[in-house]
Structure 1
Amino acid sequence: MKAQDIMVKNVICVDMDERVPQIIALLQQHKFHHLPVTDQDKLVGIISDRDILRLVSPFIDSVSEQARDLDTLNRAAHQVMTRQPIRVKANTPINDILEWLRKVDISCLPVVDDEDYVIGIITWRDLIHHAKFS
Structure 2
Amino acid sequence: MKAKDIMVQKVICVDMDERLPQVRHIMETNGFHHLPVTDNGKLVGIISDRDLLRLISPFIDSVSEQARDLDTLNRAAHQVMTRQPITVKAETPVEEIVAWLKRVDISCLPVTDDEGYVIGIISWRDLVSHATYKD
| TM-score grouping bracket, smaller chain normalisation | over 0.9
The residue number in structure 1 matching 2:30 is: 30
SS at match of 1:90: coil
Single out whichever of 107-116 and 53-62 deviates more from structure 2. Answer: 53-62
SS at match of 1:122: strand
The residue number in structure 2 matching 1:81 is: 81
The residue number in structure 2 matching 1:48 is: 48
CA RMSD of aligned residues (A): 0.8
Counterparts of 1:3-18 in structure 2 under 5 Å? 3-18=3-18
Q: How far 1:63 sits from its partner (Å)?
A: 3.2
TM-score by length of 2: 0.97
Structure 2: stretches of 5+ with no match in the other structure: none
Deviations 1:26-75 (A, max 9, x none): 01111010000000000000000110000001122233322221111110
Counterparts of 1:54-73 in structure 2 under 5 Å? 54-73=54-73
Alignment size in residue pairs: 134
SS at match of 2:102: helix
Looking at structure 1, the residues matched to 7 and 58 of structure 2 have their Cα atoms a distance apart, in angstroms, of 34
Residue identity matched to 1:62: S
TM-score by length of 1: 0.97
Residue identity matched to 1:69: D
Looking at structure 1, the residues matched to 95 and 82 of structure 2 have their Cα atoms a distance apart, in angstroms, of 24
Looking at structure 1, the residues matched to 83 and 112 of structure 2 have their Cα atoms a distance apart, in angstroms, of 15
Looking at structure 2, the residues matched to 61 and 130 of structure 1 have their Cα atoms a distance apart, in angstroms, of 39
Counterparts of 1:95-114 in structure 2 under 5 Å? 95-114=95-114
SS at match of 2:99: helix
Percent identical among aligned pairs is 75
